[in-house]
Amino acid sequence: MTSTLGAMRWLVLSVVLVACGGESAAPDPSPPVAPAPPPPPVVAARAISSRASFDLVALPEGAALAWGATPDDGGGVRAIALDPIGGVRGHEVVVSDVAFVGGGDDPGSVEELVVAAAGLRVAVAWVARTGPIVHAHATIASAGVDAFAPVRDLGATVAGAYDRSTRGRLAAWGRDDGSTAIVVRAPPGPCQASAGECARFALAAIGDGEGSGGRDTIVNEVREPCDPLVVGGLARGSAFFYGACHVTEQGAPTTTLYAIDRGGGGALASAPDVVEGCAPIGIAPGASGAIAIARCEDGVAAQEVGPRGDLLGTARAAEPRVVCASGRPTIELGAMRVQLVEAVSRIEGLLPASVAPEGSRAVWTGDAILVAAPSGREVALRRYQCDVDSITRTDVR
Protein backbone atom coordinates (compact mmCIF):
# COMPACT_ATOMS: atom_id res chain seq x y z
CA MET A 1 0.00 0.00 0.00
CA THR A 2 2.78 2.42 0.91
CA SER A 3 4.55 1.80 -2.38
CA THR A 4 1.30 2.31 -4.25
CA LEU A 5 0.66 5.67 -2.51
CA GLY A 6 4.22 6.75 -3.23
CA ALA A 7 3.82 5.96 -6.90
CA MET A 8 0.58 7.95 -7.01
CA ARG A 9 2.30 10.95 -5.38
CA TRP A 10 5.06 10.90 -8.04
CA LEU A 11 2.45 10.61 -10.78
CA VAL A 12 0.55 13.64 -9.46
CA LEU A 13 3.79 15.60 -9.10
CA SER A 14 4.80 14.74 -12.67
CA VAL A 15 1.44 15.91 -13.99
CA VAL A 16 1.76 19.20 -12.07
CA LEU A 17 5.30 19.76 -13.36
CA VAL A 18 4.23 19.13 -16.94
CA ALA A 19 1.17 21.36 -16.58
CA CYS A 20 3.27 24.20 -15.14
CA GLY A 21 5.98 23.87 -17.72
CA GLY A 22 8.27 21.90 -15.47
CA GLU A 23 11.59 21.06 -17.01
CA SER A 24 10.21 20.59 -20.58
CA ALA A 25 11.71 23.09 -23.08
CA ALA A 26 9.53 25.09 -25.48
CA PRO A 27 9.99 24.09 -29.14
CA ASP A 28 12.30 26.29 -31.17
CA PRO A 29 10.40 28.82 -33.31
CA SER A 30 10.22 28.02 -37.02
CA PRO A 31 12.64 30.04 -39.12
CA PRO A 32 10.96 32.89 -41.04
CA VAL A 33 9.84 32.08 -44.55
CA ALA A 34 11.90 33.97 -47.11
CA PRO A 35 9.79 36.26 -49.30
CA ALA A 36 9.34 35.19 -52.88
CA PRO A 37 11.78 36.90 -55.24
CA PRO A 38 10.30 39.69 -57.36
CA PRO A 39 9.28 38.74 -60.88
CA PRO A 40 11.71 39.54 -63.69
CA PRO A 41 11.13 43.16 -64.66
CA VAL A 42 9.74 44.40 -67.97
CA VAL A 43 10.76 47.62 -69.68
CA ALA A 44 9.56 50.73 -67.84
CA ALA A 45 6.55 52.70 -69.11
CA ARG A 46 7.25 55.38 -71.69
CA ALA A 47 5.48 58.71 -72.21
CA ILE A 48 3.86 58.85 -75.68
CA SER A 49 2.77 61.75 -77.86
CA SER A 50 -0.66 60.18 -78.57
CA ARG A 51 -2.56 57.00 -77.75
CA ALA A 52 -1.77 55.65 -81.23
CA SER A 53 1.91 56.62 -81.33
CA PHE A 54 3.46 53.29 -80.34
CA ASP A 55 3.77 49.73 -81.60
CA LEU A 56 5.27 46.38 -80.63
CA VAL A 57 6.73 43.70 -82.91
CA ALA A 58 8.15 40.22 -82.29
CA LEU A 59 11.78 39.53 -83.26
CA PRO A 60 13.79 36.30 -83.45
CA GLU A 61 15.45 37.18 -80.10
CA GLY A 62 12.55 38.90 -78.35
CA ALA A 63 10.65 42.01 -79.41
CA ALA A 64 11.00 45.71 -80.17
CA LEU A 65 8.95 48.63 -78.87
CA ALA A 66 8.84 51.98 -80.71
CA TRP A 67 7.01 55.16 -79.79
CA GLY A 68 6.58 58.85 -80.49
CA ALA A 69 8.25 60.72 -77.65
CA THR A 70 6.73 63.75 -75.95
CA PRO A 71 8.37 67.20 -76.20
CA ASP A 72 9.36 66.90 -72.52
CA ASP A 73 11.39 63.80 -73.44
CA GLY A 74 12.96 65.39 -76.49
CA GLY A 75 10.29 64.53 -79.08
CA GLY A 76 10.93 62.52 -82.22
CA VAL A 77 10.72 58.73 -82.42
CA ARG A 78 12.42 56.23 -80.09
CA ALA A 79 12.82 52.45 -80.00
CA ILE A 80 14.20 49.78 -77.69
CA ALA A 81 14.91 46.07 -78.09
CA LEU A 82 13.40 43.65 -75.56
CA ASP A 83 14.30 40.13 -74.49
CA PRO A 84 11.71 37.31 -74.84
CA ILE A 85 10.13 38.12 -71.45
CA GLY A 86 9.96 41.88 -71.94
CA GLY A 87 13.16 43.01 -70.24
CA VAL A 88 15.45 45.60 -71.79
CA ARG A 89 18.01 44.25 -74.26
CA GLY A 90 20.48 46.95 -75.16
CA HIS A 91 19.62 50.61 -74.83
CA GLU A 92 17.00 53.10 -76.02
CA VAL A 93 17.80 54.48 -79.48
CA VAL A 94 16.71 57.60 -81.34
CA VAL A 95 15.01 56.54 -84.57
CA SER A 96 14.49 60.18 -85.58
CA ASP A 97 15.22 63.26 -83.50
CA VAL A 98 12.21 65.05 -85.02
CA ALA A 99 8.74 63.75 -85.77
CA PHE A 100 8.14 65.75 -88.96
CA VAL A 101 11.19 65.55 -91.20
CA GLY A 102 11.61 68.70 -93.28
CA GLY A 103 9.27 70.71 -91.10
CA GLY A 104 11.70 73.56 -90.52
CA ASP A 105 11.79 74.94 -87.02
CA ASP A 106 8.74 72.91 -85.96
CA PRO A 107 9.79 69.34 -85.05
CA GLY A 108 6.16 68.24 -85.23
CA SER A 109 4.48 65.49 -83.23
CA VAL A 110 3.70 61.82 -83.90
CA GLU A 111 0.00 60.96 -84.20
CA GLU A 112 0.20 57.29 -85.24
CA LEU A 113 3.03 54.75 -85.45
CA VAL A 114 3.55 51.18 -86.70
CA VAL A 115 6.51 48.79 -86.55
CA ALA A 116 7.38 45.78 -88.70
CA ALA A 117 10.17 43.22 -88.71
CA ALA A 118 11.83 41.99 -91.90
CA GLY A 119 14.00 39.20 -90.56
CA LEU A 120 16.35 40.90 -88.10
CA ARG A 121 15.60 44.40 -89.42
CA VAL A 122 13.08 46.68 -87.73
CA ALA A 123 11.17 49.26 -89.77
CA VAL A 124 9.21 52.14 -88.27
CA ALA A 125 6.54 54.23 -90.02
CA TRP A 126 4.63 57.09 -88.48
CA VAL A 127 2.20 59.89 -89.19
CA ALA A 128 3.47 63.31 -88.07
CA ARG A 129 1.87 66.72 -87.98
CA THR A 130 3.30 70.21 -88.16
CA GLY A 131 0.58 72.84 -88.06
CA PRO A 132 -2.10 71.81 -90.61
CA ILE A 133 0.29 69.58 -92.59
CA VAL A 134 0.14 65.80 -91.99
CA HIS A 135 2.66 63.45 -93.64
CA ALA A 136 3.74 59.82 -93.32
CA HIS A 137 7.41 59.01 -92.70
CA ALA A 138 9.39 55.77 -92.48
CA THR A 139 12.85 54.33 -91.92
CA ILE A 140 14.44 50.90 -91.54
CA ALA A 141 17.38 49.71 -89.43
CA SER A 142 20.36 47.79 -90.72
CA ALA A 143 19.94 45.23 -87.91
CA GLY A 144 17.55 45.09 -84.97
CA VAL A 145 16.93 48.64 -83.79
CA ASP A 146 20.46 49.85 -84.63
CA ALA A 147 21.66 52.16 -87.40
CA PHE A 148 18.42 53.46 -88.89
CA ALA A 149 18.56 54.78 -92.44
CA PRO A 150 17.71 58.42 -93.20
CA VAL A 151 14.00 59.03 -92.75
CA ARG A 152 11.89 59.04 -95.91
CA ASP A 153 8.86 61.24 -96.45
CA LEU A 154 6.06 59.04 -97.82
CA GLY A 155 3.86 62.00 -98.67
CA ALA A 156 0.68 63.58 -97.42
CA THR A 157 -1.96 61.70 -95.47
CA VAL A 158 -5.06 62.81 -93.54
CA ALA A 159 -5.70 64.05 -90.03
CA GLY A 160 -6.77 61.40 -87.57
CA ALA A 161 -10.42 61.13 -86.62
CA TYR A 162 -11.70 62.47 -83.32
CA ASP A 163 -8.63 63.60 -81.35
CA ARG A 164 -6.15 63.20 -84.24
CA SER A 165 -4.58 60.23 -82.50
CA THR A 166 -6.61 57.29 -83.76
CA ARG A 167 -5.24 54.47 -85.89
CA GLY A 168 -6.34 53.73 -89.44
CA ARG A 169 -3.79 55.49 -91.64
CA LEU A 170 -0.89 53.02 -91.59
CA ALA A 171 -0.12 49.31 -91.67
CA ALA A 172 3.24 47.60 -92.21
CA TRP A 173 4.75 44.13 -92.56
CA GLY A 174 8.18 42.69 -93.33
CA ARG A 175 8.91 40.90 -96.60
CA ASP A 176 11.20 37.96 -97.20
CA ASP A 177 13.60 40.08 -99.30
CA GLY A 178 14.48 42.18 -96.25
CA SER A 179 12.30 45.15 -97.15
CA THR A 180 9.09 46.35 -95.50
CA ALA A 181 5.75 47.11 -97.15
CA ILE A 182 3.63 49.97 -95.81
CA VAL A 183 0.02 50.87 -96.51
CA VAL A 184 -0.53 54.63 -96.28
CA ARG A 185 -3.87 56.40 -96.36
CA ALA A 186 -3.58 59.16 -98.95
CA PRO A 187 -5.60 62.36 -99.12
CA PRO A 188 -9.01 61.94 -100.79
CA GLY A 189 -9.29 62.51 -104.53
CA PRO A 190 -11.58 62.03 -107.54
CA CYS A 191 -12.90 58.47 -107.84
CA GLN A 192 -11.55 56.51 -110.79
CA ALA A 193 -14.40 54.01 -111.05
CA SER A 194 -17.28 56.45 -110.58
CA ALA A 195 -18.13 60.09 -110.12
CA GLY A 196 -17.45 61.87 -106.85
CA GLU A 197 -14.66 61.83 -104.28
CA CYS A 198 -13.08 58.71 -102.81
CA ALA A 199 -10.89 57.89 -99.85
CA ARG A 200 -7.59 56.48 -101.11
CA PHE A 201 -4.69 54.38 -99.88
CA ALA A 202 -1.49 53.21 -101.53
CA LEU A 203 1.43 50.84 -100.97
CA ALA A 204 4.94 52.00 -100.21
CA ALA A 205 8.11 50.03 -99.56
CA ILE A 206 11.38 50.75 -97.77
CA GLY A 207 14.56 48.71 -97.68
CA ASP A 208 16.48 47.03 -100.46
CA GLY A 209 13.77 44.87 -101.99
CA GLU A 210 11.51 45.13 -105.00
CA GLY A 211 9.54 48.36 -105.25
CA SER A 212 11.41 50.16 -102.46
CA GLY A 213 11.19 53.51 -104.17
CA GLY A 214 8.15 55.12 -102.57
CA ARG A 215 4.41 54.89 -103.03
CA ASP A 216 3.04 52.69 -105.79
CA THR A 217 1.48 54.48 -108.73
CA ILE A 218 -1.58 52.24 -108.32
CA VAL A 219 -3.84 53.74 -105.69
CA ASN A 220 -6.73 51.84 -104.13
CA GLU A 221 -9.93 53.77 -103.54
CA VAL A 222 -12.98 53.46 -101.31
CA ARG A 223 -16.17 55.37 -102.06
CA GLU A 224 -17.62 55.26 -98.54
CA PRO A 225 -14.80 54.68 -96.03
CA CYS A 226 -15.06 53.70 -92.39
CA ASP A 227 -12.93 55.18 -89.67
CA PRO A 228 -10.51 53.47 -89.42
CA LEU A 229 -9.97 52.94 -93.15
CA VAL A 230 -6.72 50.92 -92.99
CA VAL A 231 -7.48 47.96 -90.73
CA GLY A 232 -4.04 46.29 -90.64
CA GLY A 233 -1.63 44.14 -92.58
CA LEU A 234 0.73 41.18 -92.26
CA ALA A 235 2.67 38.55 -94.20
CA ARG A 236 2.26 34.78 -94.02
CA GLY A 237 4.67 32.67 -96.04
CA SER A 238 4.62 33.76 -99.69
CA ALA A 239 1.46 35.87 -99.23
CA PHE A 240 0.67 39.22 -97.70
CA PHE A 241 -2.64 40.60 -96.52
CA TYR A 242 -4.07 44.00 -95.68
CA GLY A 243 -7.54 45.19 -94.82
CA ALA A 244 -9.63 48.27 -95.57
CA CYS A 245 -13.08 49.12 -94.26
CA HIS A 246 -15.96 50.53 -96.30
CA VAL A 247 -19.63 51.21 -95.61
CA THR A 248 -22.14 49.33 -97.78
CA GLU A 249 -25.25 50.87 -99.34
CA GLN A 250 -27.15 49.49 -96.35
CA GLY A 251 -24.88 51.43 -93.99
CA ALA A 252 -23.02 48.36 -92.70
CA PRO A 253 -19.26 48.56 -92.09
CA THR A 254 -17.48 45.78 -93.99
CA THR A 255 -13.81 44.78 -94.17
CA THR A 256 -12.24 44.00 -97.53
CA LEU A 257 -9.33 41.66 -96.85
CA TYR A 258 -6.82 41.85 -99.70
CA ALA A 259 -4.78 38.67 -100.19
CA ILE A 260 -1.81 38.70 -102.57
CA ASP A 261 -0.02 35.40 -103.04
CA ARG A 262 3.24 35.20 -104.97
CA GLY A 263 3.73 31.49 -104.38
CA GLY A 264 4.56 28.63 -106.69
CA GLY A 265 1.04 28.42 -108.11
CA GLY A 266 1.47 31.79 -109.84
CA ALA A 267 0.72 35.24 -108.49
CA LEU A 268 -2.91 35.74 -107.47
CA ALA A 269 -4.69 38.69 -105.87
CA SER A 270 -8.12 38.49 -104.26
CA ALA A 271 -10.23 40.81 -102.12
CA PRO A 272 -13.19 39.15 -100.38
CA ASP A 273 -15.56 41.21 -98.23
CA VAL A 274 -15.85 39.74 -94.72
CA VAL A 275 -17.34 40.40 -91.24
CA GLU A 276 -20.10 42.57 -92.70
CA GLY A 277 -22.01 44.76 -90.27
CA CYS A 278 -19.25 44.84 -87.64
CA ALA A 279 -16.72 47.52 -86.68
CA PRO A 280 -13.17 46.42 -87.57
CA ILE A 281 -10.71 45.60 -84.81
CA GLY A 282 -7.72 44.46 -86.84
CA ILE A 283 -5.98 41.80 -88.91
CA ALA A 284 -4.34 38.87 -87.08
CA PRO A 285 -2.29 35.85 -88.17
CA GLY A 286 -4.27 32.65 -88.68
CA ALA A 287 -3.22 29.04 -89.05
CA SER A 288 -2.28 29.60 -92.70
CA GLY A 289 -3.75 32.95 -93.68
CA ALA A 290 -4.97 36.17 -92.07
CA ILE A 291 -7.97 36.71 -89.80
CA ALA A 292 -10.16 39.80 -90.06
CA ILE A 293 -11.58 40.57 -86.61
CA ALA A 294 -14.48 42.89 -85.89
CA ARG A 295 -16.78 43.85 -83.02
CA CYS A 296 -20.49 43.21 -83.53
CA GLU A 297 -23.48 43.91 -81.33
CA ASP A 298 -23.50 40.27 -80.20
CA GLY A 299 -19.76 39.79 -79.72
CA VAL A 300 -16.66 39.30 -81.83
CA ALA A 301 -16.76 38.13 -85.45
CA ALA A 302 -13.75 36.68 -87.27
CA GLN A 303 -13.06 35.32 -90.73
CA GLU A 304 -9.82 33.71 -91.85
CA VAL A 305 -8.85 34.19 -95.49
CA GLY A 306 -6.23 31.96 -97.11
CA PRO A 307 -3.37 33.10 -99.36
CA ARG A 308 -5.43 32.42 -102.50
CA GLY A 309 -8.50 34.24 -101.19
CA ASP A 310 -10.30 31.12 -99.98
CA LEU A 311 -12.52 31.55 -96.91
CA LEU A 312 -11.33 29.33 -94.06
CA GLY A 313 -12.42 29.30 -90.41
CA THR A 314 -15.12 31.64 -89.20
CA ALA A 315 -16.56 32.75 -85.86
CA ARG A 316 -19.54 34.87 -84.90
CA ALA A 317 -20.90 36.09 -81.55
CA ALA A 318 -17.71 34.79 -79.91
CA GLU A 319 -15.50 35.96 -77.07
CA PRO A 320 -11.79 35.08 -77.17
CA ARG A 321 -10.05 33.05 -74.49
CA VAL A 322 -6.56 31.61 -74.04
CA VAL A 323 -5.87 28.05 -72.87
CA CYS A 324 -2.53 26.35 -72.26
CA ALA A 325 -1.13 22.87 -72.80
CA SER A 326 2.49 21.84 -72.26
CA GLY A 327 3.40 25.46 -71.58
CA ARG A 328 2.09 26.69 -74.94
CA PRO A 329 -0.94 28.98 -75.32
CA THR A 330 -3.75 28.46 -77.79
CA ILE A 331 -6.24 31.21 -78.56
CA GLU A 332 -9.82 30.06 -78.95
CA LEU A 333 -12.38 32.22 -80.73
CA GLY A 334 -15.59 30.28 -81.18
CA ALA A 335 -14.64 27.23 -83.23
CA MET A 336 -11.39 28.83 -84.40
CA ARG A 337 -8.07 27.83 -82.84
CA VAL A 338 -4.76 29.68 -83.19
CA GLN A 339 -1.81 27.88 -81.59
CA LEU A 340 1.10 30.12 -80.59
CA VAL A 341 4.33 28.29 -81.34
CA GLU A 342 6.83 30.45 -83.20
CA ALA A 343 7.22 34.15 -82.43
CA VAL A 344 4.42 36.17 -84.02
CA SER A 345 3.05 39.73 -83.97
CA ARG A 346 -0.41 41.30 -84.37
CA ILE A 347 -2.26 39.02 -81.96
CA GLU A 348 -3.94 41.79 -79.91
CA GLY A 349 -7.28 41.40 -81.70
CA LEU A 350 -7.41 37.71 -80.78
CA LEU A 351 -6.92 38.24 -77.05
CA PRO A 352 -9.54 38.92 -74.36
CA ALA A 353 -9.97 42.59 -73.44
CA SER A 354 -8.80 41.72 -69.91
CA VAL A 355 -5.41 40.81 -71.40
CA ALA A 356 -5.16 43.30 -74.28
CA PRO A 357 -7.38 46.35 -73.65
CA GLU A 358 -8.59 48.49 -76.53
CA GLY A 359 -5.70 50.20 -78.28
CA SER A 360 -3.11 47.60 -77.19
CA ARG A 361 -0.49 45.86 -79.31
CA ALA A 362 0.51 42.27 -78.49
CA VAL A 363 3.07 39.68 -79.60
CA TRP A 364 4.06 36.13 -78.73
CA THR A 365 7.84 35.78 -78.35
CA GLY A 366 7.97 32.01 -77.88
CA ASP A 367 8.31 32.50 -74.12
CA ALA A 368 5.59 35.00 -73.25
CA ILE A 369 2.72 37.09 -74.53
CA LEU A 370 3.84 40.71 -74.30
CA VAL A 371 1.17 43.42 -74.37
CA ALA A 372 1.90 47.12 -74.82
CA ALA A 373 -1.14 48.95 -73.46
CA PRO A 374 -1.81 52.70 -73.47
CA SER A 375 -2.86 54.39 -70.25
CA GLY A 376 -3.33 58.12 -70.47
CA ARG A 377 -0.25 59.43 -72.22
CA GLU A 378 1.95 56.45 -71.37
CA VAL A 379 2.47 53.01 -72.82
CA ALA A 380 3.24 50.21 -70.35
CA LEU A 381 4.27 46.62 -71.01
CA ARG A 382 2.56 43.57 -69.50
CA ARG A 383 3.74 39.95 -69.58
CA TYR A 384 1.54 36.83 -69.61
CA GLN A 385 2.75 33.23 -69.44
CA CYS A 386 1.20 29.80 -69.13
CA ASP A 387 0.39 28.49 -65.66
CA VAL A 388 -1.00 24.95 -65.90
CA ASP A 389 -4.01 25.33 -68.24
CA SER A 390 -4.37 29.12 -68.47
CA ILE A 391 -2.25 32.23 -68.77
CA THR A 392 -1.38 34.48 -65.87
CA ARG A 393 0.24 37.87 -65.63
CA THR A 394 3.86 37.43 -64.50
CA ASP A 395 5.33 40.93 -64.51
CA VAL A 396 3.63 41.72 -61.19
CA ARG A 397 3.44 39.66 -57.99
Q: What span, in angstroms and rounded, lies between the C-alpha atoms of 64 and 56?
A: 6
Q: DSSP for 69-93?
A: PPGGGT-SEEEEEE-TTS-B-S--E
Q: Note the pLDDT tens digit of each residue in 80-135.
A: 999 999 999 999 999 999 999 987 888 999 999 999 999 889 999 999 999 899 99
Say if 71 falls within a structural domain: no
Model confidence at 243: pLDDT above 60: yes
Strands 239-247 and 225-236: antiparallel
Residue 286 lies in domain: 224-315
Q: Looking at residue 12, what is its pLDDT? A: 37
Sequence-distant (≥ 6) Cβ neighbours of residue 326 within 8 angstroms: none
Q: Looking at residue 10, what is its pLDDT? A: 35
Contact present, 282 and 349 (Cβ < 8 Å): yes
Say if 240 falls within a structural domain: yes
Say if 287 falls within a structural domain: yes
Q: Which amino acid is at 4?
A: T
Say if 277 falls within a structural domain: yes
Model confidence at 220: pLDDT above 70: yes
Return the SS3 of 355: coil
Q: Note the pLDDT tens digit of each residue in 1-58.
A: 444 434 434 333 343 334 444 455 666 777 777 777 889 999 999 999 999 999 999 9
Q: DSSP for 8-33?
A: HHHHHHHHHHHHT-TTPPPPPPPPPP
* Percent of the chain residues topping a pLDDT of 90: 74
Average pLDDT, integer, range 278-290: 94
Say if 159 falls within a structural domain: no
Q: How confident is the model at residue 163 (pLDDT cuts 50, 70, 90)?
A: low
Say if 359 falls within a structural domain: no
Task: Say how many domains are in the chain.
Answer: 1
Say if 361 falls within a structural domain: no
Q: Looking at residue 159, what is its pLDDT? A: 84
Of the listed ranges 203-207, 351-355, 370-374, the one predicted with least confidence: 203-207
Q: How confident is the model at residue 397 (pLDDT cuts 50, 70, 90)?
A: confident
Say if 31 falls within a structural domain: no
**Mean pLDDT score across all residues of the chain:** 88
Q: Note the pLDDT tens digit of each residue in 193-218.
A: 889 999 999 999 998 765 555 555 55
Q: What span, in angstroms and rounded, lies between the C-alpha atoms of 365 and 139?
A: 24
